[in-house]
A = this chain, B = another copy of it.
Amino acid sequence: MKGFAFFGCAAAALMAGLPVEAGEGMWTFDNPPLKQLQERYHFTPTQEWLDHVRLSSVRMNDGGSASFVSGHGLLLTNHHVARGQLQKNSTAEHDYIANGFYAATPEQEMKSPDMEVNVLVSMENVTAQVVAAVSQAKTPEAQFAARRGVIAGIERASLDTTGLRSDVVALYHGGEYWLYRYKKYTDVRLVFAPEQQIAFFGGDPDNFTYPRYDLDMALFRVYENGKPIDSKDFLKWNPQGAANHELVFVSGHPGTTHRLNTMAQLEALRDLGQPNIIKNLKRRIAVLEQYSALGAEQARQAASAIFGAANSLKAAEGRYKGLLDKSVMAAKLKDEQEFQARIMANAEWRAAYGVAWAAIADAEKKAATRSQVRLYRGLDSQLATLATSIVELVAEVKKPDGERLAGFHEAQLESMRYRLYSPAPIYTAMEIARLTGSLEQSLAELGANDAFVKLALNGRTPKEAAAALVNGSKLADPAVRRKLVDGGQAAVAASDDPLIVLARRLDPLRRETNKWFEDNVQSVEQRAGEQLGKARFAVYGKTTYPDATFTLRLSYGEVEGYPMNGTVAPYKTTLFGLFDRAGSFDFEGPFYLPSRYQERRDRLDLSTPLDFVSSNDIIGGNSGSPVINRKGEIVGLIFDGNIEGLVGDYVYEEGTNRAVAVHTAAMTEALRKLYDAPRLVNELLGL
């Protein structure tokens, strides 16, 4: 399971009407599940415990989570979260993905080209401010603008005052608004990564499944002012791990869930959203695999993109299966009907919130009429994406902060520029291949007369257009991008870089589409979402958790196996199992083992636990999260969920939903006996 991707789903809120299941929930740190923990486990975390865990938890803006595991900034995450940075640091000569990396000395620790990590240092409820601003507007469109304005103002003011990254996040789809302030780090250096083959042992087949035998770990170190940070907020390393049925916590950043969506929204996802995502991912993978087949260097360049797309595809297919599952949809319908009945039975509630469901259903119907256009008017290319960002950036910064597009508010500009100027390599031939593939798709889906297609192709074939655009562009050089941004609208208007020219021409089209969706869909669903959020609090109180928003959450659960395919899956696997699964496939394909595993097998205690599962409620974005025991010690490293849990986008099923983690014992054993990394083992153990 890798990171997650946002697919721009229209946001709106429906709170589940029924009490949550044991183990269910991605809880915010202001509202931890104290009642459930006390009733089921007789455990109540102190505020000190909660603060310590929160400040030890890290958001990886590449898409994923991490935690501090030493007082000197050592940061543990998954190999697959680190993978993008590994790829960007690799060359044809030094392939850190294939061969791994270990900095035997502090001097060898290797800077990441464009990684930003965040630590959530404070949370402030700003619902009243947002509601007050919005309530003065009458139409959904006016409310939309007012909401955007007040949020941008809060963020900017916070940034000015504190210097911290400041994001207002809508929880419960607008039932609450919170200002989250983050300490931001951008000097993040790679310390250790094993071979990708052992991190992702079993490859795409085993991805999202269990039993599993992966050492999906990587270690970074966070620096500030050229030195490792010093901090008391780190998780103590417990190499014994957790016992069967032990209570454990996961603190991390789940990306997106749709549990509070209305039936109308779920049906739109089922009938339009997910099938299109799947189709698009399959096309992208086919294009990348064709490129990859050209040679070893092409394969190396394309590997991360294929890896990410294949991962997304398997997850999307699992989610789609959940939406097609009649029993899942029946349960969601039952919840919605019960909630609706409670609202409709109270005259005041009915008047205030009763229209929300129909409003959302209407908005989804409207969205469906233009969703194809939005989906297929895109360019699959890093350079084209950079060009679009540059054209938008120079225009947006001239507007008042509150009126800018999402992502361009004052408080977000530093992170935006950090990404725009990344020195990571961009491969021309791969760019042409990807852009050709996406232009071919646009042409096929939208036809030659579509305005976007006409502008993009300009009389050329997709292949001709892609080659001309990429070959003619200088944007692969970060200095060129910086110069354009620094030159502002004048420089961008004067540029004859073909990708900038195209981005300029497409800009009005994209703005028109965005505006249409804002006016007809987002503004309506945001208002309805806020109504349903309030309705939920009115009926049930704040007894549940919000949908995932890639913000910090705490989940609790038990280390435990589960019924699987006619038998039972064990709560853990061992190193014996790694050698069994590799040997069972004659060490072929995704089941081969890096040579050190064969050569040093006899050094290992093969009964060492390798991976384990718990009933914690997680989803994409939680990758790299620590698994934590009652004492606040780290006992594992989340890297995946099981296939039965992919339906977790919509519903949590206690009996079968499992988080999959690397065991601390295996990480210790491997660092010590396979990777000769005593420096790290000692640091982890505090020796």
Contacts and interface: CB of A to CB of B under 8 A. Distances in A.
A583 B568 CA distance: 14
A565 B567 contact: no
A667 to B, nearest CB: 18
A307 interface: no
Interface in A583-603: 583-586, 591
Nearest to A611: B584
Contacts of A561: 585
Given A577-B577, A579-B606, A584 B565 contact: no
B568 A574 contact: no
A488 B591 CA distance: 69
Contacts of A579: 574, 576, 606-607
Contacts of A452: none
Instruction: Determine which residue in A206, A208, A580 has the highest number of CB atoms from chain B within 10 A of its CB, and name it.
Output: A580
A23 interface: no
A409 interface: no
A502 to B, nearest CB: 41
Instruction: Determine which residue in A567, A571, A573 has the highest number of CB atoms from chain B within 10 A of its CB, and name it.
Output: A567
A468 to B, nearest CB: 43
Contact of A206 (B208, B318, B567, B643): B567
B574 A580 contact: yes
A570 interface: yes
A211 interface: yes
A565 B565 contact: yes
A209 interface: yes
Contacts of A574: 579-580, 583-584
A565 B205 CA distance: 10
Interface string A237-252: 0000000100000000
Interface in A540-599: 561, 564-568, 570-574, 576-577, 579-581, 583-586, 591
Copy number in the complex reads 2
Question: Helix, strand, loop or mixed for chain A's interface?
Answer: mixed
A244 to B, nearest CB: 7
B573 A580 contact: yes
B244 A586 contact: yes
Contact of A583 (B206, B585, B607): B607
A314 B566 CA distance: 9
A660 to B, nearest CB: 12
A581 B585 contact: no
Contact of A581 (B314, B570, B591, B643): B570
B584 A580 contact: no
A567 B606 contact: no
Interface string A643-667: 1000000000000000000000000
A202 interface: yes
A570 B573 CA distance: 17
Interface string A171-214: 00000000000000000000000000000001001101101000
A570 B209 CA distance: 14
Interface in A40-90: none
Contacts of A585: 561, 570-571
Given A577-B577, A579-B606, A584 B566 contact: no
A209 B580 contact: no
Nearest to A571: B584
Contacts of A581: 570, 577
Nearest to A317: B566
Contact of A565 (B209, B577, B586): B209
Nearest to A566: B643
A564 B565 contact: yes
A567 B202 contact: yes
Contact of A566 (B208, B567, B570, B583): B208
Contacts of A211: 584
Contact of A570 (B244, B572, B584): B584
Nearest to A565: B565
A576 B574 CA distance: 10
Nearest to A570: B584
Nearest to A583: B574
Contacts of A206: 567
B205 A568 contact: yes
Instruction: Determine which residue in A566, A579, A591 has the highest number of CB atoms from chain B within 10 A of its CB, and name it.
Output: A566
A209 B584 contact: no
B205 A567 contact: yes
24 contacts: A202-B567, A208-B566, A209-B567, A314-B566, A318-B566, A565-B565, A565-B643, A566-B643, A570-B581, A570-B584, A570-B585, A571-B584, A572-B584, A574-B580, A574-B583, A574-B584, A576-B576, A576-B577, A576-B579, A576-B583, A577-B577, A577-B581, A579-B606, A579-B607
Given A206-B567, A576-B576, A579-B606, 15 more contacts: A209-B565, A209-B566, A211-B584, A314-B566, A564-B565, A567-B643, A570-B584, A570-B591, A571-B584, A574-B579, A574-B580, A574-B583, A576-B580, A577-B577, A583-B607
Return the 5 tightest CB-CB contacts between A and B, nearest first. A570-B584, A577-B580, A566-B643, A576-B580, A565-B565
